[in-house]
Amino acid sequence: MTAAELAKYIDHSILHPTMTDADLEEGCRIAIAYGTATVCIKPYAVARAASLLDGTGVGVCTVIGFPHGSNTTDLKVIETIEACRNGATEIDMVVNIGKVLEEDWTYVENEIEQIMHSALQHNAILKVIFENDYLEDKHKIKLCEICSKLHVAFVKTSTGYGYVKQDNGFFQTKGATLHDLQLMRAHCSADVQVKAAGGIRTLKDSLAAIEAGATRIGATATVSIIDALADGSDNFNTDFPSGDKGAY
């Protein structure tokens, strides 16, 4: 794989709460220079990102119901429509996590379907964020089945902000794990792609995610990941918590 090919797997993410307009502009410059698939930014920044990326071949991705998925379905639909009108070409929505946990699958499916319909009407594709840190495998599998039934474009592991309180009182997120990527790939239909997001910071993480079935990666460490492949360095050290599943 070449550096240019790897870049097309990446949604360069600028989603931290402290993101400024200067951060947005720098992120877009990075995405253009490296030729990433998209820049993934917060909804208020879509119009500016669309202007900066116009004609570059880099898409505009934004998030809906981020990061907890708790808005009403109507508000998520309105968010989606506004984002598309402002120039978004890809929509990453967060499921209603509470509804998933109580297995209200009618609600969950209806919400995904409405948002996908709104996205497609505006020539955008939908990625569905599961936020796997909060879920059991049975929930992930059912979400894969629903997304396959609806023919969504992508299922996605995490927001990167799904912090779970640990026994020691500290909060931690695993984000994308090898286990979850393999599970999601195995239980989605062939036309549904898998996006790995959350904690992918190195070339090793990225290649492992791709090997596990991911065709898109959400990352903030785009420069170091791609440079590691381009210059032949291993870049294999990572501070990402390994968890009990082998995190990538």
- Tell the CATH topology of 3-231: TIM Barrel (3.20.20)
Residue 207 in 3-state DSSP? helix
Query: What pLDDT does 166 receive?
Result: 77
pLDDT (average), residues 189-204: 96
* Residues 115-163 pLDDT 10s: 999 999 999 999 999 999 999 999 999 999 999 999 999 999 999 888 7
Angstrom distance (rounded) from CA 120 to CA 239 = 38
Tokens 């934004």 — which residue? 62
Is residue 234 part of the annotated active site? The answer reads no
Question: Where are the chain's structural domains?
Answer: 3-231
Give me the residues paired with residue 10 across strands.
217
Inter-residue contact 109 to 144 (CB < 8 Å)? no
Note the pTM of the prediction, 2 decimals: 0.91
* Residues 170-192 pLDDT 10s: 777 788 999 999 999 999 999 99
Angstrom distance (rounded) from CA 53 to CA 89 = 12
Print burial letters for 206-238: b (CB count within 10 Å at least 16), e (below 16).
Answer: bbbbbebbbebbbbbbbeebbebbeeeeebeeb
Burial category of 56 from C-beta neighbours within 10 Å (exposed 0-12, middle 13-18, buried 19 and up):
middle
Which member of 156, 174, 180, 205 is catalytic?
Answer: 156
The backbone torsions φ and ψ at residue 142, rounded to the nearest 5 degrees and listed phi first, read -65, -40
What token pair was written down for 177?
């794990």
Banded pLDDT at 42 (limits 50, 70, 90): very high
Is residue 156 part of the annotated active site? The answer reads yes
Which member of 11, 76, 92, 133 is catalytic?
Answer: 92
* Residues 50-106 pLDDT 10s: 999 999 999 999 999 999 999 999 999 999 999 999 999 999 999 999 999 999 999
pLDDT (average), residues 182-204: 96
Is residue 245 part of the annotated active site? The answer reads no
Angstrom distance (rounded) from CA 89 to CA 105 = 27
Query: What pLDDT does 233 receive?
Result: 63
